Amino acid sequence: MRERNYSILDGFISNIDGHLGAFFKEARQTARAYPAEKVGDLVLDESERRQSEGFMRVNHAGEISAQALYQAQAITARDSKLRDAMRRSADEEIDHLVWCEKRLHELGGHTSYLGPFWFIGSFTIGTLAGLIGDKWSLGFVVETENQVVAHLDEHLEKISEADLRSRMILEQMREDEAHHASVALHAGAAELPGPVKKMMRLFSKVMTKTAYWV
């Protein structure tokens, strides 16, 4: 039987369908253990709990966007090794997605109600970056991950010292995101133009400010 060659449009539809459905599933499998599994919490007051909830909701929304970005760029990548690397990074981001969701539930919070919007927007941007060329796609990954690391640094600085479980998750995520940026950079990423970086920072700001509450 002849194997079907899937187009970019096929991949777009398949990914949108699969991931939007996944947002409503409680249980997901991760490749790695929950970083906070053996870490006890000190008592959080209501203000600390709300802050941690907001930060973890932002990070969960960011991981939805990361899934969209890597899946889109895997579909559009010309080089097979790059395609595989993008998919491996997407798998690692699934761990982050699940960890953030689990911590949100522990805090009595909810994920962003705008999850489908974050996914579709990031998937579209990732597809456009991938269509321009692999080196620009990699450059987009480097800038995205650098911005994520900056957000995680800010959260680690502001989050309550008593919230040990959230801190363990954020520290592991920071390590992974920095690694993803390094891999993309050494794979031949191009330096993005200043206006593109500015646009990305604007989108990121809108997402983080909105997802903190919604």
Domain ranges of the chain: 45-211
pLDDT at residue 48, as a whole number: 95
pLDDT at residue 85, as a whole number: 80
Mean pLDDT of all residues belonging to the chain: 84
Range scoring the smallest mean pLDDT among 59-63, 87-91, 185-189: 87-91
Q: What's the pLDDT tens digit per position in 148-181?
A: 999 999 999 999 999 999 999 999 999 999 998 9
pLDDT at residue 132, as a whole number: 87
Q: What's the pLDDT tens digit per position in 72-110?
A: 888 888 888 888 888 888 888 889 999 999 999 999 999
Average pLDDT estimate for 138-150? 92
Give the integer Cα–Cα distance in Å for 162 and 170. 14
CA 39, chain centre distance (Å): 24
Residue 42's alpha-carbon distances to 107, 154, 161, 166, in angstroms, are 13, 21, 9, 11
Quote the pTM value.
Answer: 0.84
Which comes out higher in pLDDT, residue 18 or 68?
A: 68
The token pair at 110 is 């909810």
Average pLDDT estimate for 198-212? 90
Domain 45-211 has CATH 1.20.1260.10: yes
Residue 12's alpha-carbon distances to 87, 107, 141, 206, in angstroms, are 15, 34, 19, 24
Instruction: Read off the DSSP letter of residue 27.
Output: -
Confidence class for position 15, pLDDT limits 50, 70, 90: low
pLDDT at 26 over 60: no
pLDDT at residue 52, as a whole number: 96
Collect all residues with Cβ–Cβ distance below 8 Å to 86 and sequence separation of at least 6: 70, 71, 73, 74, 77
Which comes out higher in pLDDT, residue 2 or 200?
A: 200
The token pair at 50 is 């709300």
